[in-house]
Structures are given as C-alpha cells and as structure tokens.
Amino acid sequence: DGGITQSPKYLFRKEGQNVTLSCEQNLNHDAMYWYRQDPGQGLRLIYYSQIVNDFQKGDIAEGYSVSREKKESFPLTVTSAQKNPTAFYLCASSPLGQGLPEQFFGPGTRLTVL
Amino acid sequence: DAKTTQPPSMDCAEGRAANLPCNHSTISGNEYVYWYRQIHSQGPQYIIHGLKNNETNEMASLIITEDRKSSTLILPHATLRDTAVYYCIVRSGGTSYGKLTFGQGTILTVHP
C-alpha cells in the first residue's frame, strides 16, 4: 500500500537532547513537508522540500533541521535550541507539476520533552 | 494567501446533511478553496477543492458563492465517523507546491 509512515507514534525525550523524527513515503512524490500542531491549534509549517538535496524554511524553522538525501525520506531533527518542542509533528508529501495537488499526511509523531 | 473564517464548532445529527460554512472575503482570482479534515490525533485528510464552480466527489460537495467570498462544505449523510475538525484553506494557484495555512477550523460533532 502506498502512503506515508512516521515513526515512532509517541516519543519521549529529556530536555536538552536532540531528537530525530522519521518520515518515509512510497508515493513517489517530489515535495515533502513538516508541520507542527499544538493543542487546539491548526498546523504550522516548519520546513519543506521540493527535490532531493534542497529544502526551504517554513514559518517556524528555528530550532529545527532537516535533510533530504533521498526522495522518499525527509527526517526532522528537533534540536535543543527549540524552546517548546513538545507538540504533535506531521509529515506530508505531494506531487509537483500537476496544478495544485493535495498534500497527503502521515499519522504524526507526538513528541513530549520532559 | 487569503485568510479564512470558520465557526469554532457545529453539531449534526447522524444521517442528516452537515453544512460547514467558510468566509474568505479577501480571496483573489487565482486562489483555490481547499477543505481538509482531521480526526483526533491523526494526520489531516484531503476532502475536496475548487476555484469557482461547485465540486462534488465521493466524500462531499463544495459550494462556492458567485462572488467567491464564501463557501460551504456539505457532507450529505453525516455519520459518527465524520466527527472531526474541518479546515477551510485558501491557497494560491501560482505555485504547484507550498504550504497549507491551517486556521483553527470547525469542530464538527455528529451525534446519534
């Protein structure tokens, strides 16, 4: 089945530690995105990537880093510089060059920093 | 991208039509209206999108007013599984990629 996988579903870390969230897609989509969601709020864009080895900052990139070494993978690292890392993190992907394709979302990773 | 305004919550009886409104009075000519929904603790799910004409798919119908300043998402026969947060998003047609700007959406509760 084609889709987007994020692992793990729940993640706990101590304050001051970096943590990397996984996102993999087998939809052959060019574009991938990371969003953050806080309780009762909408999604906010952290980073996005249109092609391999290229990515752009979204609205709230500070304290985060990404890489795009493979088309199917777009891991997000939450660094110790992120002041409020506890949140629900969502990865998405979409094809390019076909008008305005919808974005397909993964199931999300809930990160709790203790 | 234009800002949208949605009611914070709505109720609907199971089996009845759910009509979710959205105001986007500052929408420009090349901006599309998208609808997504998010069931609790899951990733958002695409529902439908449109530019000017009304649209229908297997999930819902989208009615856009002639002046394009507002739209309504219609779930024709709501079920308990349609309980979710529904997001109305306006997105520029200038690029084939880019962010979706999610507001706080409408919490739709379908009750028996």
Q: How would you classify the pairing of strands B9-13 and B106-111?
A: parallel
- The first and second tokens of residue A18, run together, are 């970096």
Q: What is the pLDDT of residues A47-91, one digit of tens each?
A: 999 899 999 999 899 999 999 999 999 999 999 888 899 999 999
Question: Would an 8 Å CB–CB cutoff place B39 in contact with chain A?
Answer: no
C-beta of residue A108 within 8 angstroms of C-beta of residue B43: yes
pLDDT at residue A1, as a whole number = 59
Mean pLDDT, rounded, for A78-107: 86
Give the helix/strand (H/E) hosting B49. Answer: strand B45-50
Question: Would an 8 Å CB–CB cutoff place A100 in contact with chain B?
Answer: yes
CA distance A58 to chain B (A): 8
pLDDT < 70: residue spans in chain B:
1-2, 93-99
Residues with Cβ within 8 Å of residue A32, at least 6 apart in sequence:
A23, A25, A48, A49, A68, A74, A91, A92, A93
HSE-up of A19 (CA within 13 Å, CB side)? Answer: 22
| Cα separation, B2 vs B28, whole angstroms | 7
pLDDT at residue A78, as a whole number = 95
Mean pLDDT, rounded, for A36-44: 89
In chain A, count H helices and then E strands: 0, 11
C-beta of residue A12 within 8 angstroms of C-beta of residue A53: no
Question: Would an 8 Å CB–CB cutoff place B74 in contact with chain A?
Answer: no
HSE-up of B7 (CA within 13 Å, CB side)? Answer: 11
Which neighbouring-strand residues pair with A12? A112
CA distance A50 to chain B (A): 8
Average pLDDT, chain B: 91
- The first and second tokens of residue A109, run together, are 């990773």
Residues with Cβ within 8 Å of residue B42, at least 6 apart in sequence:
A107, A108
